Chain A
């Protein structure tokens, strides 16, 4: 072999090796990659063994995971997602994007909302000056778990942050309302109304206060109506009757100062304006 041909031979061999690599990859299947994470050490251990490059390792893992989890053709790819994102966030506790994107993948792709919330809570703990993690957690709790109490907790946490937007206060108040905690809700909305700096917000507060007042009044009035019925065997003709018979001190008006609508036949109160935030109203 003449010396001139040697570099060609080197190139040829490397190309052939590339082909072998390709064959290997196509035979291996992704499951082999999954197995790597069976023995991936915890974040703390990995941090030690990154010898100071833990940030880089976190970044690499993160980039890899985004690619991996957007491979839609791979089924069962979420088996270890919590572990992986725990490792990433242990390596870089303030890795904003990891918490955010990780939780989105968990919630919207893997549809495991509890898991997403756990990750977001970790983010909230590690980055206490961020309100967005609690906000997202509350969103998932509310929208997908239907757990208003949990959502309320998270909104409150978000509100500990002075830069939390006003929107969150409204959301929280709404959660309180949705739990039928009407007195508390009214207080909250009253606060909002008083401290508000925007018309939009004041309008919203008014609507909520209207609805809350209505529900409170409705409850009270309908209880009294039932008692009237027990006494007198029929529904009162109008609300004034309740006042006359001493069941109520005065007829409540709605929040805008208007009368409620009274249905004689069913003995129920209807509002003039209705806001259907709850399924059953």
Chain B
């Protein structure tokens, strides 16, 4: 299958990128250093361990999602390898899908290995294994896929620097939008109110994937929310990929 060929190729290319490995390694270094930091803490050491570890994994995996995606598409267009592919009987949407799947797999490997190390580390350092970590990583993975799709949209028409900036901005917005929720219905001016409502529902709402609080504080998993979060990710990613295809379809390759 053609999409599969491109996906595998994308993964291979990502896996050869030194920056990719660097980010994983640095992320893991942070995770492991949490042990040292936790020694400075009076009180619940394990909580600090988890906090730093999860934060590091979150931070570095987001970086990987943003930069790997952008780099790969840009490299294709800049180095003109994209000509070789598009002059063959590959429709443009196959190309985009193949790229996305390749990146998704790359992220899976990256995140999976970090999660594995973290779990083992937690087991050794604190003697506990929390199966809810899997839920957290599932949600984090969904969020990363959304971000990857965003970076794909931008890199189908923009330079890597701008694409990175825009994607980062979208990521930050995604984690602030939740604050609109309370006050949007309180606005008086109807125009402003409509704008606020529309923005709240259109902009990606990423805070729902951040269940670090619940995880570290030991609360139980709310399955209906997890379900909604995954559904949201599926819908939003589909929309973004379609948007990518639309943009890419129009693209001319000078």
Contact = CB atoms under 8 A, between A and B. Distances in A.
Given A16-B235, A23-B228, A10 B242 contact: yes
Interface in B175-199: 176, 178-179, 181-183, 186
A119 B232 CA distance: 41
Nearest to A9: B242
A274 to B, nearest CB: 50
Contact of B224 (A16, A27, A64): A27
Of residues A6, A23, A67, which shows the largest number of chain B Cβ atoms within 10 Å of its Cβ? A67
A17 B179 contact: no
Nearest to B210: A36
A39 interface: yes
Contacts of B243: 10
Binding site secondary structure of chain B: helix
B235 A7 contact: no
Contact of B183 (A9, A17, A35, A67): A67
A71 interface: yes
B213 A39 contact: yes
B179 A20 contact: no
Contacts of A36: 213
Contact of B239 (A3, A17, A28, A63): A17
Contacts of A21: 200-201, 205, 228, 232
A27 B228 contact: yes
Interface string B114-151: 00000000000000000000000000000000000000
B42 interface: no
Contact of A20 (B183, B212, B232): B232
Nearest to B208: A24
B225 A14 contact: no
Contacts of B217: 35, 38-39
B17 interface: no
A18 B232 CA distance: 8
A67 B182 contact: yes
A13 B238 contact: yes
B66 interface: no
18 contacts: A3-B249, A6-B242, A13-B235, A13-B242, A17-B235, A17-B236, A20-B231, A21-B205, A24-B228, A24-B232, A25-B181, A27-B228, A28-B225, A35-B219, A36-B213, A38-B217, A39-B217, A67-B186
Given A20-B232, A28-B208, A71-B182, 18 more contacts: A3-B246, A6-B242, A6-B245, A9-B239, A10-B242, A13-B242, A14-B202, A16-B235, A20-B235, A21-B205, A24-B228, A25-B181, A27-B225, A33-B178, A39-B217, A60-B176, A67-B182, A67-B186
